[in-house]
């Protein structure tokens, strides 16, 4: 760290008093010296003067010092085991993350289903954990050149680096209890599993893969809904995915949808609710708008468990609730029954 301090006296332009100009420069592990210049007048200790000093100092810390510290330290989150434990929202017990991973992200105390990484889910469904990645449909990344406080292309870049996927949806083919099937799976870790242009085109590609090979299609959904950064392009994926399912029906091929926590918004309001069989994991949130939004709009307290898997099964929207450990077996039985 370098500290550079210079001082000089000169006359105050408005008075005969003398003021001192102090220049301070601080450099943290760099060769560049950042400078702050401010003026000390005889009445610097007034409330207004102190406020101005504080404002300048905080601004300097935020705009100069903090970015340099972050650049020097870097992102070391991957090397620090700060997520070694998870608090279960079901039983409020602290569970080792390693233990959860070994148990397919299911709490061993209360069977609460945590979010399961997409590749772990596919590995658990397909026989022997073996499947072929068909890929994601290629589209224009940012059709609207959208920007809020960040560019949309930058958000996409971060999500791709984080997940290793090009977009939220992916297609896999393989055997489920010896039955060949196509699986369309959504990764909630990729921008909340939001549905954009690539998402919709990938679903259409999954339908085409199923029809070309004359095998059933299984959807595994976990989504916050349509992707706002793509505007109308995102919303148009709702009718596009529905039209694709109509094509699947004309080939008399079954479509099974597995609802995981959460499945909401435009994904729920389109293809996911058009399955021949609806399966849900225990306790999954399934609904178009969140319960808090509905409660605030209606100004009425909602029933306990509203929009959860168990509530929806009682009201006919879900056919069966299946524990994650038994999901592959149950899907295999259904596929055998449907032929």
pLDDT digits (tens, 9 = 90+) for 241-276: 999 999 999 999 999 999 999 999 999 999 999 999
Q: What are phi and psi of 115, to 5 degrees?
A: -65, 130
Give me the percent of the chain exceeding a pLDDT of 90: 69
Q: 249-263 burial, b if ≥16 CB within 10 A, otherwise e?
A: eeeebbbbbbbbbbb
> What is the rounded average pLDDT of the residues 121-149?
93
Q: Where are the beta strands (DSSP E) in 216-336?
A: 217-223, 255-264, 277-280, 286-287, 320-321
pLDDT digits (tens, 9 = 90+) for 129-141: 999 999 899 899 9
Instruction: Return the pLDDT at 79.
Output: 43
Q: Where are the beta strands (DSSP E) in the chain?
A: 2-11, 18-27, 34-40, 85-87, 94-96, 132-133, 169-176, 179-186, 217-223, 255-264, 277-280, 286-287, 320-321
Cα separation of 165 and 118, whole Å? Answer: 10
**Who contacts 319 (Cβ-Cβ below 8 Å, separation ≥6)?**
277, 278, 279, 313
Average pLDDT, the chain: 85
CATH match for 117-338 among 3.90.226.10, 3.40.1500.10, 3.40.50.1100, 2.30.40.10: 3.90.226.10
Instruction: Return the pLDDT at 73.
Output: 66
pLDDT digits (tens, 9 = 90+) for 155-192: 999 999 999 999 999 999 999 999 999 999 999 999 99
pLDDT digits (tens, 9 = 90+) for 189-216: 999 999 999 999 999 999 999 999 999 9
Instruction: Return the pLDDT at 87.
Output: 93
pLDDT digits (tens, 9 = 90+) for 291-314: 889 989 988 899 989 999 999 999
Tell whether the model's pLDDT for residue 17 goes beyond 70: no
Tell whether the model's pLDDT for residue 115 goes beyond 90: yes
Tell whether the model's pLDDT for residue 50 goes beyond 50: yes
Instruction: Return the pLDDT at 96.
Output: 93
pLDDT band of residue 61 (cuts 50, 70, 90) is confident
**Gyration radius of the chain's alpha carbons:** 28
CATH 3.90.226.10 residue ranges of the chain are: 117-338
């Amino acid at each position: 760290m370098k500290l550079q301090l210079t001082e000089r006296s000169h006359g105050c332009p408005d008075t005969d008093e003398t003021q001192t100009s102090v220049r301070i420069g601080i450099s943290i592990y760099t060769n560049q010296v950042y400078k702050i210049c401010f003026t000390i007048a005889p009445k610097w200790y007034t409330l207004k003067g102190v406020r101005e000093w504080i404002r300048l100092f905080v601004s300097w810390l935020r705009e100069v010092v903090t970015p340099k510290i972050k650049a020097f330290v870097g992102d070391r989150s991957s090397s620090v085991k700060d997520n070694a434990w998870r608090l279960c929202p079901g039983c409020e017990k602290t569970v080792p993350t390693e233990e959860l991973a070994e148990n397919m992200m299911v709490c061993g105390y209360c069977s609460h289903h945590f979010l399961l990484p997409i590749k772990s889910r596919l590995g658990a469904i397909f026989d022997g954990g073996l499947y072929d990645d068909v890929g994601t449909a290629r589209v224009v990344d940012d059709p609207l050149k959208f920007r809020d406080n960040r560019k949309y292309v930058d958000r996409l870049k971060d999500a791709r680096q984080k997940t290793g996927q090009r977009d939220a949806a992916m297609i896999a083919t393989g055997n489920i209890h010896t039955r060949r099937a196509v699986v369309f799976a959504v990764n909630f870790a990729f921008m909340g599993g939001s549905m954009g242009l690539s998402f919709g085109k990938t679903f259409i590609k999954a339908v085409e893969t199923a029809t070309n090979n004359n095998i059933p299609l299984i959807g595994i959904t976990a989504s916050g809904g349509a992707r706002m950064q793509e505007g109308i392009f995102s919303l148009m994926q709702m009718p596009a995915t529905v039209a694709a399912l109509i094509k699947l029906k004309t080939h008399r091929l079954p479509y099974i949808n597995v609802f995981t926590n959460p499945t909401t918004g435009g994904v729920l309001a389109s293809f996911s609710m058009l399955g021949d069989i609806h399966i849900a994991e225990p306790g999954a949130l399934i609904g178009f708008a969140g319960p808090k939004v509905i409660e605030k709009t209606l100004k009425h307290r909602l029933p306990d468990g509203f929009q959860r898997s168990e509530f929806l099964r009682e009201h006919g929207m879900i056919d069966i609730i299946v524990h994650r450990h038994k999901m592959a077996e149950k899907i295999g039985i259904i596929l055998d029954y449907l032929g």
